[in-house]
Amino acid sequence: MVVLKTGNEFSDAFSEQYEQSTIDKFISTILCRGDLAKQKLDAKPVSFFQLFRFATIYDRFMVVVGAILAILSGIFQPTICLIGGELTNIFLLTKDYICLKNASLNITCTMRDEYVKSLLRQDAAWFDQQKSGALTAQLNTNIEKIKDGIGDKVGMILRGVSLYLTSLVIGFFYEWRVTFVMLAMGPASAALLSFMAQKVEHSSGLQISADGHAAAVLEESIINVKTVAACNAQEAMIERYAAALKACRKFALQTYAFAGFFDGLFFFVLYFFFAAGLYYGAHLYHIQEVMNPGYIFTVANVIIFGSYYLGVLSPYLMAVLNARVAAAIIYKVIDRFYFNLKFQKPSIDSSSTDGIKLNEVKGSVEFQNVKFSYPASKEHQVLNGLSWTAKAGDTVALVGHSGCGKSTSIGLLTSLYTCNSGAILIDGINVRDINIHSLRNVIGVVQQEPLLFTGTIKENIRLGNPDLTDQEIIEVCKTANAHDFIDKLSEGYDTKIGAGGIQLSGGQKQRIAIARTIARNPRILLLDEATSALDAESEMAASVGRTTIVIAHRLSTLRDSNQIVVLDKGQVAEIGTHKELCSRKDGVYASLVKSQQFEEKRNVSPAPNEELPSETFHRSFTRSSRNSLNYGVLSSMTRGSIISGGVKRASITTEASAKIIEKDGKKKSKSKGLWQLYRNCNGNYGKMVLALFVSLVRGMELPAFVLFFGLAFDAFDHAHLESIMQRILPVVIIYVALGVACVIVLFSATFTFGWAAECVVDLLRLRALRSMLYQDASYFDTPSTSTAVTVTRICVDAPNIKAALDSRMMQIVNNIVAIFVMIVVAVIFNWRIGLVGSGNLFTLTLLMLLIARRMQKLNKHALKEDLTGQMAIEIVEQIRTIQLITREEHFHRKYVQQIQDLLCVQKKSGPYEAVLFAISSSFMFFSDMLSYATGIALMYYGYSTSSEVFTSAVSISTCGLALVLVSGCLNTFVMASPASDSLFEIINKGVKPGNIDEGSCPEITGSVEFKKVHFSYPTRPQRNILNGLNLTADAGKIVAVTGPSGSGKSTVIALLERFYQFNSGELNLDNNSITKISLRHLREQMALVGQEPVLFSGTIAENILLGNSGKTMDDVREACRIANAIGFIEASPQGYDTEVGERGGQLSGGQKQRIAIARALIRNPKILLLDEATSALDAESERIVQQALDVASSGRTCITVAHRLSSIQHADQIFFVENGRVVEEGTHQELIELDGKYADLIRKQDLKP
C-alpha cells in the first residue's frame, strides 16, 4: 500500500505554531478551517486530499467522476436559470451523489479495516496510555465524521462553488459592471465563514470534550448499576450526570450562538451587495449605460442564486473540517506501523515476521538480572534485578505481595513488554530474538478472570487450535474439568455463551479458558491465579510434559510445586520448595502461610483428591503491575453484558432462555414517531414555542425576497427613466433591512432551537438514566438490553433525536412555512400559475415522502444488521487475550467480513438518497419551465400582466430552493423517528421493583431468615439455582456461606439486596417479609463489599460519601480508620481529595478494597454483606483487609461468601451450600468433626508442610 504523509508523523500531539503559505491560506478560507497559525491543535488536521488516502483506484475513479458531475451540475444550474429546465440535470445530480456516496462508503470501510488491523498489532505500552472506550469511540464516531465529510458533502461543495463561479461568468457576460459590484459578496462571505470556523471550532472542541466526560459518567453509572443500587446512589449519579450535561450544554449553546450570528451576517452581506448591485444597475439604466433592464435582472438572478447556494455550504464545509480533524486522529493510530520513526514505531509488533522461529521447545525459562519499569511510570522500578530459573517440565510458583512483579514477569515472558535490561531466556534463547507469534504459540496463558468470546463453547475452544476434531475438543475439556458441566447442557458444545461468556459462571468460564489453552498444547503454561477451577488430578494432567509457572494467592495450591519463588520489591526474597520455605520460621513465605493456616483443633483423616471449583470475579490489579498488564481490556463484568459492582450470577443459557430472548427480540412496539418526543418536552415548551415563533418569522425571508424582487421588477417595468432611481431606492433599503432582520432572526432562531434541543435531549438522557438505575438486575441479563447495549443506545439515539429539535428542524420549519406562503403569493398574483406550480410541488412532495419512508426502512435494517460496533468492542476489550492466543488474523478477517456485509446493506439506500436529492434540486428548473410557459400563454392572450407572471413564477421557483434546503436535512430528520422510539423504549420501561419508597420502614436489628426459598434466573426459568434453601442468621452474628461454583452462594446476597425476586418461599428480616419493606429503607440497612470493589471517577472522599447525604468529613475519617485505610490516605499529598482514577485505577487492589469497606461502614449498616471480599488479594493485602473486616463485622450481622476458608473459620455459623440447598451447617470445629464436604475442603487448603 502506498503511504502518504499526513503531517502527523513527527509528533503525537501537534501543538506548534506555523506559518501558512498563501495557497494554504486560500484553501483554509475555502475549506472553512480557520487560521491554524493562531490556534493550538491537539492534532494537526490532515490535508483534504489525505482524506482519500485509503481509496482504491476504483474509488478514486468514482470520486473523480462524482466531482466532475457535481461541477457540471453546478455549471448547468445557473445556465438553466436562463434557458429553462432539462432532464439532463437530474441525471448529473443523481450520478454525482451515488458516485461520491459509494466511494465514501468504500473508503471508510477500508479505513475501518486498517484501523482494526493496527489495533491488533499495537503493543501493551501503547494501550496503557489509552482511555477506556476511546478506541472504539474513535472507530465509530471519527470514521462516521470522515464518511460524512468525503461523501455527498464534497459534491455539494464542488457544486456550490462551480455554481457560484458559473454565475459570475454569466453575470460578467451579460453586464460586467453590475456583476463586479455583486462580486464583493463572495470574498466577504468566505471571510465570514472562515472567521466563524475559528470560533465554532473552539467551542465545538470544548463541547466534544465535555460530552465525552458526560458519556463516561453515564457509562460508569449503568455498567456499575448494582453498586449504585446497593448504595442507594441513584439520585447522586443522576445529579453527577446532570452536572456533566450542563457543562456540555454551555459549550453547545456557544456553538449555536456563533453559528447563528455568522449565518445571519452572511445573509446580511448577501442582501447588502444584492441591493447594491440592483441600485447600481438602476443607475446604469438611468444614465443609459445599460439599454436592456433584462440584463440587470439576469445578472441579479444568477448572482443571488449562486451566492445563496454558497451561503448554505457552511455546514458542508464544517463537515469537511471535522473529517480532516477526525482523520488525523485515526491516522495517528494507523501510521505507527508505516513510518520508520524510532520514537513512534512500536517496540513490539505482534504481526512482525522478524525473529527466530522456534521448532522444538523443551521449556526451560530463565530470568537473568531483569530490570523493568512500565513506560507509563518509568520512575517506578517494578523489577529490580530479578533472577530465577525454571527447568523444563518443572512447576514453579511465584508468590508475593501486590506489586512485587509476579504478573509483570508473565507480561515480559510473553513479550507484552520488553525489559529495560537483563535477559529472559527460553531454552537459552533471548525472547527479544524470538518471533512474537512463534513465542506466543509455545506459551499458554490462563488468567484469573478468563475472557471468552461471543459464540459457542466449541468455537471458543477452537480459537486455541482451529484444527481440533470434535473428539479432541472433548478430550481437552475433560483434562480441564469442563466436560461434565458442558455435557449437561441441552446443546452441549454448541451452546452459545453470549458476549464475554455472560451465560457462564466464573468457574465454568475458567475451565473453558483452560481447555482453550490446553488445546494449543503449549510447552510453557502460565497460570495466573487460575488453578482453582481444577482438581489436583486435572491440574497434574494439564501440567504434564510442560513447564508450568503459577501465580496464586491461595497458597494451598502451591504445595506440590517443584520450586516456589517469593518476590519482594522486584527481587527474589526467598526460593525453595513449600516444605523448605515453611521451615524458615521468620521467612516471608512462612508468614504468608501462617496467615492462611487453620487453627490446630482437629484430627482429620486423609480425604480423596478433590478441589473446590471457584466462582471468580474480575480481579484487582495494582497500579504498578496489574493495571498495566490488563491494558485496554475492560472486565467482562464492566464493559461486557454482565453488570459489575455487585453480585455475580452463575449458570448457563439453555433452550428455554434462548426462546425467551428470541421472543423478546421479536416484540414489536408500535412506532409513535416524533409525536411522542414532542409530547415529552416538559418544562421546555416555552423555549420550543419561542423557537417556533422565531422560525416562522425566519420563514418569511424567502417570500419577502420574492415580493421585493417583484417590486424591483415593477420599478423597472413601469417607471420612466427620470423616476427609476426614486422607485428602486425603497426596494434597496428594504433589502438592506431584510439583511439586518436576517442577522437578528437567524441568530435568535438558531440559538433558541439549539437551546430547546439541548434542554430537551438532556432531559431525556436524564430520564433514561433514571429508568435504568431503578431497574432490577434481570433487565440487564438479556443480551438485547445488556448494560453495554443500553449505554450505546442512549449515547447514539440522543444526538440523532436532536435533528428533530435543533437548527435542522429550524431549517425544515422555516422552509415549509416559506413554501406555503410563496404558494399563497403565487396564487394571489396569478392563480393559474399558482395552481400549476402547487400541483407540481404536491406531486414532488408526495414522491419525496415515499422515498423518505423507504430510506427510513433501509436505515433501520442497516442499524439492525450492524454488528461491527459490538465486534470492535469485543476486539478492544479482549485485545490482550487475542494477542496471547495469536488469533489476530482470525478476528481481523471476521471484522472485515462484517463491515463488508454492512457495506452491502448501506449501499442499498444510496440510490434513494440520490434520487431524492436530484429531484428536489431539479424541481425549481422544471417549475420555471412550466410557470414561464404558462405565463407566456397568459400574457399572449391578455389574461395577466408581466409583473404578475414574474412574481408568481419566481414564487413557485423559489419554492424549489426551499425544497432543496428541506431535502438536505431530511435524511437526518428521518433518522430521528426511530431514535426517538428507541430512547423512549428505555425511558418508558416499567420498573419491576416499583417505587423504591413504597413499603414499610420497620426498625431492623439484623436477623435474616431464608425459608424454603426457590429461585431461578428469569432468563433460565427451567434451572433452579436455589431449591428450598433454609438459612438463618441471628442479629449481630457472623454467618459464612461456602460451597462449589454455581451452588447459589452469591444468589443469597443478590436476593437480600433485592436485585432479583425469588420464586417462592419466605425471606424475612426481623420477621418482616423483605418484599414488603421499602426498597430504599432495606438497602439503607445493608452494605455490600464485593470481590472486585467498584470505585467511581472522583476523589476518595466522594467515593466514600456516595449515596450518603448528611455525612461529614469526620464520619469519613472514622470509617477510614475502622477500614484500616486512614494510613495510606493521609500519607498521600492530596489526602481525601486524591483522585482514584477510572474504576479506581490509581489505587492498588488492597487500597480499593479498604475504600469500599469504608464506604460500607459510613452507612452504619445493620447487615454487612461480604462476597469474596478478600479472594482477589495477595496474602499481605488480604491480611490487612481481613483485619479491617473483622473490626467492621463487630456489632452487626455479617453474611460472608468465601472460598478461602481460613477467612471464615471464626464465623458463628457456617453453611455449606450445594445445588441450592444447605447440606452442612455448624461452626468451623463442628464441621471439622463432621468430616464431610467442608472438612474435605479444609484438607485441600491446609498449608501445613
Domain residue limits, the chain:
22-338+674-987, 365-588, 1091-1164
- What single-letter DSSP state applies at residue 456? B
Nearest to 930 by CA among 860, 1016, 832, 998: 832
Q: Which CATH architecture has domain 22-338+674-987?
A: Up-down Bundle (1.20)
Cβ distance 409 to 383 under 8 Å? yes
Q: CB of 390 within 8 A of CB of 396?
A: yes
Query: Which pTM value belongs to this model?
Result: 0.74
Residue 507 and residue 452 in contact, taking contact as beta carbons nearer than 8 Å: no
Distance CA 788, CA 222 (A): 8
Spatial distance between the Cα atoms of 42 and 56, rounded to a whole number of angstroms: 29
Task: Pick one of 3.40.50.300, 1.10.443.10, 3.40.50.720, 3.20.20.80 as the CATH number of 1091-1164.
Answer: 3.40.50.300
Q: How far apart are CA 550 and CA 562, in angstroms?
A: 11
CA distances from 1164 to 274, 960, 1111, 1116 (A): 75, 70, 11, 12
Cell of residue 265, nine digits: 451576517
Alpha helices in 701-776 (DSSP H): 701-718, 724-773
Q: Would you state the pLDDT for residue 929?
A: 76
123-to-243, 662, 852, 879 alpha-carbon distances in Å: 36, 40, 46, 10
DSSP type of residue 878: T
Sheet arrangement for strand 429-430: 383-390, 365-372, 421-426, 429-430
- Residues paired with residue 1066 on neighbouring β-strands, in sequence order: 1011
Q: Where does 84-151 have alpha helices with state H?
A: 88-121, 124-128, 134-137, 143-150
Q: What is the pLDDT of residue 1014?
A: 92
Of the candidates 914, 954, 689, which has an alpha carbon nearest to the alpha carbon of residue 818?
Answer: 954
Element (H, E) at 547: strand 547-551
Report residue 390 CA to chain centroid gap.
43
pLDDT of residue 605: 39
Rounded Cα distance, 196 and 320, in Å: 15
| Beta bridge partner(s), residue 1033 | 1008
- Assign residue 651 a region: left if phi > 0, alpha if psi is -120 to 50, beta otherwise? left
Residue 262: phi and psi, rounded to 5, are -75, -30
Sequence letter at residue 93: L
| Antiparallel, parallel or unpaired: β 395-400 and 547-551 | parallel
Task: Give residue 242's pLDDT.
Answer: 92
- Domain 365-588: give its CATH superfamily: P-loop containing nucleotide triphosphate hydrolases (3.40.50.300)
Q: Which residues of the chain have pLDDT under 50?
A: 1-27, 29-42, 83-95, 340-343, 533, 535-536, 600-668, 1247, 1249
CA distance 961 to 738: 18
* Strand-strand pairing, 1086-1089 and 1167-1171: parallel
**Residues 72, 86 contacting (CB under 8 angstroms):** no
Q: What is the pLDDT of residue 47?
A: 66
Tell me, yes or no, if the two domains 22-338+674-987 and 365-588 fold the same way. Answer: no
Tell me the backbone φ, ψ of residue 180, rounded to 5 degrees. Answer: -60, -40
Amino acid of residue 436:
I
pLDDT given for residue 1178 in this prediction: 57
* pLDDT (0 to 100) of residue 12: 39
Helix (H, G, I), strand (E, B) or coil at 314: helix
Q: Is the dihedral of CA 1162, 1167, 1171, 1177 positive or negative?
A: positive
CB atoms within 10 A of CB 726: 11
Residues 332, 337, 341: CA angle, nearest 5 degrees: 85
What average pLDDT does the structure give for the chain? 75
